[in-house]
Amino acid sequence: MEKKFVMKTGGCICGKVKYKVKLDEIPKVFNCHCVDCRKKLGGINSIIALREGALEIDKKELGVYEHPGGSGNKLKKHFCKYCAAPIFSYVEKFNTTYLYAGLLDDVSILKKAKNIHYKNSHFPFMKINEDEISN
């Protein structure tokens, strides 16, 4: 069966960064509970794993913060230079770009998410069903 894709748009708070992204009809969404995301955003982080070349974006208004992840591989976080909204991160370990789901203009297709890094660092007030946890 042929894969179905949908084109979506998104952007930051101040409007200087806008993008188009090609998503799978059922995107791969993760809620990341890791300490790193928590410190970056102040809470849990919903991200979408993108296929190569899926994101069309003008990078000139983006700031980049690069640091080693837990595994020692590079993480490159891209954010709006003006309003600091997180746009996407590149994770060298998986050679994958992850889009911050909350910046999509329309989130209606994000119907399911797996929770990652839940067991080691979730907020105690956050209760999630076993079948929605992947590690």
Q: Where does this chain bind Zn ion (CB under 5 A)?
A: 12, 14, 16, 32, 34, 37, 80, 82-83
User: Phi and psi (nearest 5°) for 7?
Assistant: -95, 130
Smaller CB separation from Zn ion, 6 or 132: 132
* Residue found under tokens 């794993």: 49
| Least Cβ distance, residue 2 to Zn ion (angstroms) | 33
Half-sphere exposure of 9 (CA within 13 A, CB side): 3
Task: State in angstroms the smallest separation of the CB of 93 from Zn ion.
Answer: 12
Q: How far is the CB of 77 from Zn ion (least distance, A)?
A: 11
Closer CB to Zn ion, 6 or 73, in the complex? 73
Shortest distance (Å) from residue 62 CB to Zn ion:
9
DSSP notation for 9-44: EEE-SSSS-EEEEEEESS-EEEEE--HHHHHHHSS-
Which residue carries 């995107």 as its tokens?
A: 27
Beta carbon nearer to Zn ion, 6 or 68: 68
